[in-house]
């Protein structure tokens, strides 16, 4: 699905907050390796909306964002693929049925609450 990355189409692809260069805040005091290690070691659940495929609600269509994928769901899937394939992480991924880019939908479904807050 994803081919070789052409950095000429998105010259600032690795600039913070989408990339690791020029970080600010607490991340500025960490190395790239430390940040990547945190991504791998921490137990993480990524929620992706099943229908989060439309450019609505402040969708970033800049070249740098589009290099990550054409939709928010595709960007989430690409990020998880990078984490698993390149870094060896083992995150939990949930495709939340019938949800788009809507936090209320995501966090009030019967599927998500037990997964994030198990008893």
pLDDT at 4: 66
Q: Is residue 112 part of a domain?
A: yes
Q: Is residue 100 part of a domain?
A: yes
Q: Is residue 1 part of a domain?
A: no
pLDDT at 60: 93
Give mean pLDDT in consecutive 10-residue pieces for the chain, a chain of 119 residues: 70 86 93 93 94 91 88 95 94 94 90 78
Enter the pTM of the model.
0.85
Structure tokens at 21: 């260069």
Q: CATH number of the domain that 60 lies in? A: 3.40.50.1820
Task: Give the residue from 86, 107, 95, 14 showing the smallest Cα distance to 47.
Answer: 95
Q: How many domains does the chain have?
A: 1
What domain range is 101 assigned to? Answer: 7-116
pLDDT at 3: 58
Q: Is residue 38 part of a domain?
A: yes
pLDDT at 63: 86
pLDDT at 1: 46
Q: Is residue 58 part of a domain?
A: yes
């Amino acid at each position: 699905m994803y081919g070789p990355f052409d950095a000429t189409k998105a010259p600032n692809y690795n600039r913070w907050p989408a990339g690791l260069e020029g970080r600010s805040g607490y991340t500025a005091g960490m190395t790239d390796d430390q940040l990547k290690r945190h991504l791998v070691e921490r137990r993480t659940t990524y929620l992706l909306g099943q229908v989060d495929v439309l450019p609505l609600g402040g969708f970033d269509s800049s070249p740098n964002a589009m290099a990550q994928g054409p939709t928010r769901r595709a960007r989430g899937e690409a990020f998880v693929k990078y984490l698993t394939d390149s870094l060896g992480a083992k995150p939990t991924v949930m495709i939340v049925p019938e949800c788009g880019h809507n936090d209320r939908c995501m966090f009030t479904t019967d599927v998500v609450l037990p997964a994030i807050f198990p008893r």
